[in-house]
Structure 1
Amino acid sequence: MNELYPWLLPLWQRWKTTLKQGSIPHSMLCCAAPGTGIEHVITKLSSAIVCKNADDEACGFCHSCELSQSGHHPDIHWVLPEKEGKGINVEQIREANRKAMESSQLGGKRVIIINPAELMNESASNALLKTLETPPEKCVFILITSDKHKLLPTIISRCQSWQLPPVKPQVLMDWLQEQPVLSSNNPIDWFCLKMYAQSPVSALEFLEKDKHAQWETLLELTAKTLKHQSLPLAELQTFFKSDPIEKVSWLTYLFSDIQKAHFNVLELQAPPIFHEMVELVSYQSAYSHFHHLQQLHHSLKTSSGLNAELLIVDWFISLIEDR
């Protein structure tokens, strides 16, 4: 991807200045929400760091740039979870540390990118900390995180922190309006799409995959459970069989909005079915279920092997019992 998303440009301009000044630190912590495409600007930065001719960005023509563009540069290493729902383990960090200590294969700098850094377990974090305390020469560590507070304070203190600025609503709206998926001039339902206000790439995926129909199904299933005080078990199991983590995040936003509605601070006009739920769920109940859903979402994201469908059905049962 040659062109950066518009919300990434301010951060890239700051990094270009840092590159031009020759002041890229040995360890950087980049904080950004998932779904911002932050990986694109990190890739651009990494290419510039290893480029033989770079001033404030990669030249795009040297052998190093060719390797970067192909995704096979021997001095750029990404450390990622081995599979969804798993963390980053100590062996992965030890391997990254070994690469950091080795000489550059192309005679320049090495770049180690850890994403998402908050998924390092305790042993992995401690192994990385030892390396950051005595950083190797000509090596740059870049840690990407959506939750800085889950990192060891000692790791944070050894990194230069960079925060992706919040995505402005108008920037998101303008960008989405330019996308081919909206060429039919279908109106955007901002009431649900605001869930992705800080995750524009995820917002576009929501539209491209027509997830709006799934969102409406979720509203209907939740309203049915509340109205009839019975569990539509088969429908729930079918619905949550795919993308359960994302759909739990939708429920979390829904119950956050129910709380706001009780205080008349809802930002956008909501559909009638939402207002029906507000009448059926007290503020205190919405508050309790919101926090329960937050915990459930965190557990599903960070622990592999959990039975998501069972846990979600259990939550729906608690919704009935609370009425």
Structure 2
Amino acid sequence: MLYPWHQSLWQSWQQLLGQGRLHHAVLLLSAKGSGREVLAKQLAKTVLCQNCDTEPCGVCHSCQLFAAETHPDFHIVKPEQEGKQIGVDAIRQCNRWAVETSQLAGQRVIMIEHADAMGEAGANAILKTLEEPPSGCQFILTAQSLDSLLPTIVSRCNKWRLTTPDEQDVKRWVEKQLMQSIKIEAVRLNNGAPLATMQFVEQGQDIRHGNLIDAFAAFLQPPYIGIYDVAGLCSGEGITSLKWLSYFMVDCIKLQQGVSEYLVHGESLAKVQTVAGLVPPAVLIQQVRKINELHRMLEKQRGLNTDLLLVEWLTGFLGENNSVS
């Protein structure tokens, strides 16, 4: 079932499907937590449907097989683990699927989730198939942005961007699903993605985020104790917590520069004001840069001593040249 924010793009696809003009390689771009796989699978199911051109009938043999996740002409490739590349062997398998005969005497659909996780070898392996796919073969690629995709892949696809809904609409939708009120900062911390926001609240991350910001603000006030409390909260949450602190410090910098219209932590304004008044702008800017570098390093390298690295970063607020005022 599609989500409300899918409807506009879906209607555009339906129009093309009805006219027989859908491009053979569709690239769907959207933020993590927007439910893009749901929309992509709706397109795949429609292409494979034996009765209808613009929406799946839900009753034909193809639709029933699709619902049971046993459709012989629908193939998905994605990273084995989040953050991992899609191997070249998996992409070569896509090429083999592309030339196979349909087992249901209809279309074939190959879906590449997180296409931005294809390495250069994998991307090169599928270029020709994307450019000139065999008859009756539909490619659907999903990705978060164009930044990590090779231009040669992008140029061979018809690009579609799923628009992020208005943050107030996201807030209302999540509140309706969870039957509770949420803060707008929960939406902003998740870049406006509705499903990510809902998961954030469901899993209690909103509470843990608040605890971390409280501990961080307290640590930066004399007598500057609690450094291990902050590091422990970060370590317990994982590298996502580094993004939370980065967003918080950027809000502090904005406030120091007189910008207050759009703060991620608008509902924690008192804490933002406190830290903005305690830490010099140059120190905040330097610490934001360092924590973003640390986040990238921990994303790429597993097994590092996260606690030690976090404590080392936090001492940057207390160094001889970086003392808080």
Q: Is 1:190 the counterpart of 2:184 in the alignment?
A: yes
Quick one: which of 228, 232, 243 aligns to 2:227? 232
Quick one: which of 53, 56, 61 aligns to 1:55? 53
How many angstroms does 1:109 deviate by? 1.6
CA separation in 1, counterparts of 2:113 and 2:121? 16
Normalization by structure 1: what TM-score?
Answer: 0.89
Structure with larger Rg: 2
Secondary structure of 2:138's counterpart equals strand
How many angstroms does 1:306 deviate by? 4.9
How many angstroms does 1:122 deviate by? 1.5
CA separation in 2, counterparts of 1:20 and 1:302? 44
Q: Is 1:111 the counterpart of 2:109 in the alignment?
A: yes
After superposing the two structures, state which structure 1 stretch, 292-301 or 202-211, moved more. 292-301
The equivalent residue for 2:118 is 120
Matched ranges for 1:91-240 at <5 A: 91-182=89-180, 187-227=181-221, 228-229=223-224, 232-233=227-228, 235-236=229-230, 238-240=232-234
Matched ranges for 1:32-71 at <5 A: 32-71=30-69
- CA 1:320–1:106 in 2, change beyond 3 Å: closer, same or farther? farther
CA separation in 2, counterparts of 1:129 and 1:307? 40
2:32–2:193: 8 Å Cα contact kept in structure 1?
yes
Deviations 1:179-212 (A, max 9, x none): 2341xxxx42223432124211111112212222
Superposition RMSD on alpha carbons, in Å? 2.2
Deviations 1:100-121 (A, max 9, x none): 2212222222222222111111
5+ residue gaps, structure 1, are none
CA separation in 2, counterparts of 1:155 and 1:38? 19
Secondary structure of 1:179's counterpart equals helix
Deviations 1:74-118 (A, max 9, x none): 222221111133121111111122112212222222222222111
Quick one: which of 253, 260, 285 aligns to 2:254? 260
CA separation in 2, counterparts of 1:136 and 1:79? 18
Residue identity in the other structure for 2:70: H
CA separation in 2, counterparts of 1:69 and 1:143? 20
Residue identity in the other structure for 1:247: S
- CA 1:215–1:48 in 2, change beyond 3 Å: closer, same or farther? same
Q: Determine what percentage of the aligned residue pairs are the same residue.
A: 35
Q: How many residues align?
A: 316
CA separation in 2, counterparts of 1:172 and 1:31? 19
How many angstroms does 1:13 deviate by? 1.1
How many angstroms does 1:231 deviate by? 6.0
- CA 1:99–1:309 in 2, change beyond 3 Å: closer, same or farther? farther
5+ residue gaps, structure 2, are none
1:86–1:302: 8 Å Cα contact kept in structure 2?
no
How many angstroms does 1:46 deviate by? 0.7
Secondary structure of 1:162's counterpart equals strand
